[in-house]
Amino acid sequence: MTRSDTAPRRRLLADLTPLRRSPAFARLWAGTAIAGIGTQMTTVAVGLEVYEITHSTFAVALVGVIALVPMIAAGLYGGMLADAFDRRLVALVSSIVAWGSVALIATHAWLGLHSVVLLYVLATVNAVAATVSNASRSAIVPRLVGTDLLPAASALGGIASGFQVTVGPAIAGVLIATVGFAPTYTIDVVLFTFAFLGVFTLPRMAADDDALRPGLGSLVEGARFLKRSRNITMTFVLDIVAMTFGQPRVLFPAIGALVIGGGSITVGTLTAAYAIGALLSSVFSGPLGHVRRQGEAVGWAITAYGAAIAGFGVVIAVAHALGGRAGERFDVGILPALALAALFLAISGGADNVSSVFRNTILQAAAPDGMRGRLQGIFIVVVTGGPRVGDLYAGLVVAAGIAYPPIIGGVLIIGLVALLLRLVPSFRRYDALHPHANYAHPEARPARPESRPPHPEFRPARPESCATRHCSRPRARELSPTPRLGRRTRVSAGAPRGSAGAPRGSAAARRVSRYATLLAAEGTRTVAHPETRPARAESRPAHTESPPARAESRQRVASATRRRPGGAWRARTAPPVRMQVVSYACRTATRAPSSGPGSAPSSGVPTTRSSGTGSSTPRPR
């Protein structure tokens, strides 16, 4: 039963049906949401501890830079692991590794080692393990909730992510300022236990029997599938476009210090506005589960994202043109510009989350189960690398002006999205009820229902040479007026010349008469091509001739005929003497006998006198 059949009541708030219907998904979602708060706390705490040790912003940036390449490799390889082995086992092992790395970071803080290199190594191990775990968990979700509840499950994931990003850093800041780094890491170790339990209680998720082992072959197979699946490829391409030209976060410190003013308060407000917009869009995501044209919805959501980023750039440009407010001091005069900028960022965060919900739904629904792990790994690579490329774009374009990166980027997003949807119309027509249909390729179109009659244009045409009305077997075209012997033509031995339907005196009539002469000794027979002659019916009486006589008759008929190149059969021009004798006997038998004593003797062929006419016809054997 589909969503259109049930006609559910539309609700504004998030749909909690996946949590009620699947207890396993509820445990996994709750454990991931709680553990994610601790992950955000550790991310903030590691950066602050590195800065406290080195007093270098570049050293803090290296925490993410060093982990970037291993995370990309882990996303690809972790996806192959999820497709080749039990996904529950892969998620469980990776969760244990991530939990152990956090425990070692806490131990490092409790011992007071203050080693930057050790923090780099442990943070990288934690990021790699978390990447593999996330790829496995995302591939597990479709098996737990089903395809029809994927939009609701993705929206619930957005709620958990928005809650983590909003609450986690705030709690970390308070804890670090009050109790220090070691207790903060320890709380993360405790919270991570919930994620471990959520994975541990899952049912077994065995892989397919024909799944490839992790390696180059598995990666190439995933790349080939991605090349054939335009809809899934479009989800990655559109996300890269949005993240490359719509990430103004590197501009926040300069905006807070030189344009709007307010310093760290402005930076924190702008950062939180994006997360709050994403969280609100997830909370009020009830109508998203009823959208069928999800590809078109992705296009509109990313277009709204680009427009919001461009609007944010316009606000920054106007504030900069009005002179701006340099300094760290926060006053009431900066509130209008700060409120407008935060509003546009909140809209962009909500639009990006809506796009993420639909893109993740398309990825999980349109991909076969044996490919979901690898595709989720590629998705993580795109999500991880896209914002970094966006930071590079903003850093290069900001030389022309601080407002240019968001304005130019927003316009580029709108234009590129329109162009891509124009080039790939199958993505715009993507239907959630038929996720595996790729209308760009005729071979991939869904088959017509059997009860639906085919279109008249696709019915096979009847061969022109087929003279039978209900016959569908193609036959060779006649090249001469010779009657077709493939049609079962019944010829009576006593029939007059040319009685087969051809005009008297024509060549066809003479040939038919010759056939009648040849068959007169055998009575009524059916002349047909040996290859097309149907099998003798069981109710048909057996032939009265003995097998030797029947074989001799067939040999006599075969020797008197020969095959034409066009497919027809005709008598030889010079029949043997024996055939001439048979022909003379048949002609003699068909004549009317005289009533006087001088009548001609009988030819020896049995005759039967007809009542009233005096004519005689041979008795069929």
208 with 237, same domain: the answer is no
Contacts (Cβ under 8 Å, ≥6 apart) of 111: none
The pLDDT of residue 550 is 61
The pLDDT of residue 387 is 84
Domain extent at residue 514:
480-523
- In sequence order, the β-bridge partners of residue 526 are 490
d(CA 196, CA 98): 10
Assigned domain for 351 exists: yes
d(CA 341, CA 230): 36
Helix (H) or strand (E) holding 353: helix 335-366
82 with 185, same domain: the answer is yes
Residue length of the chain: 621
Q: What is the tens place of the pLDDT at every residue in 345-392?
A: 999 999 999 999 999 889 888 888 888 888 888 888 888 778 888 888
413 with 516, same domain: the answer is no
d(CA 23, CA 29): 10
Assigned domain for 461 exists: no
33 with 79, same domain: the answer is yes
Give, to the nearest 10 degrees, the angle between helix 372-397 and helix 57-84.
160
207 with 350, same domain: the answer is no
Compute and round to an integer the Cα radius of gyration of the chain: 43
489 with 418, same domain: the answer is no
115 with 186, same domain: the answer is yes
558 CA to centre of own chain: 61
118 with 28, same domain: the answer is yes
Contacts (Cβ under 8 Å, ≥6 apart) of 321: none
The pLDDT of residue 536 is 53
The pair of structure tokens assigned to 544 is: 């009265």
Helix intervals (H) in 432-591: 507-519, 547-559, 577-590
The pLDDT of residue 372 is 85
Assigned domain for 165 exists: yes
Evaluate whether 355 touches 361 at the Cβ level (below 8 Å). Answer: no
DSSP helix/strand/coil, 96: helix
| Segments of the chain with pLDDT less than 70 | 1-10, 209-210, 324-330, 436-621
Helix (H) or strand (E) holding 563: strand 561-563
d(CA 317, CA 314): 5
Q: Which of 437, 464, 488 is the last residue of a domain?
A: 437
Quote the DSSP letter at residue 621. -
The pLDDT of residue 510 is 67
d(CA 226, CA 378): 10
d(CA 582, CA 579): 5
The pair of structure tokens assigned to 53 is: 């040790």
Assigned domain for 261 exists: yes
d(CA 214, CA 596): 107
247 with 306, same domain: the answer is yes
Helix intervals (H) in 229-263: 230-245, 252-254
Vertex 373, ends 372 and 378: CA angle to 5°?
A: 95
Quote the DSSP letter at residue 457. G
428 with 506, same domain: the answer is no
476 CA to centre of own chain: 44
Assigned domain for 269 exists: yes
Burial 475-510 (b: 16+ CB within 10 A, else e): beeeeeebbbbbeebebbbbbebbebebeeeeebbe
Assigned domain for 290 exists: yes
The pair of structure tokens assigned to 245 is: 């030209």
The pLDDT of residue 544 is 52
Nearest Cα residue to 466 out of 532, 525, 510, 512: 532
Q: Which of 190, 214, 238 is the last residue of a domain?
A: 214
The pLDDT of residue 267 is 82
CATH code assigned at 253:
1.20.1250.20
Helix (H) or strand (E) holding 51: helix 23-54
d(CA 257, CA 143): 49
392 with 293, same domain: the answer is yes
* Tally of domains within the chain: 3
The pLDDT of residue 179 is 93
The pair of structure tokens assigned to 307 is: 């427009």
Nearest Cα residue to 117 out of 165, 62, 156: 62
d(CA 31, CA 97): 16
Quote the DSSP letter at residue 567. S
Assigned domain for 612 exists: no
Evaluate whether 374 touches 83 at the Cβ level (below 8 Å). Answer: yes
Assigned domain for 368 exists: yes
The pLDDT of residue 36 is 93
Helix intervals (H) in 429-506: none
294 with 170, same domain: the answer is no
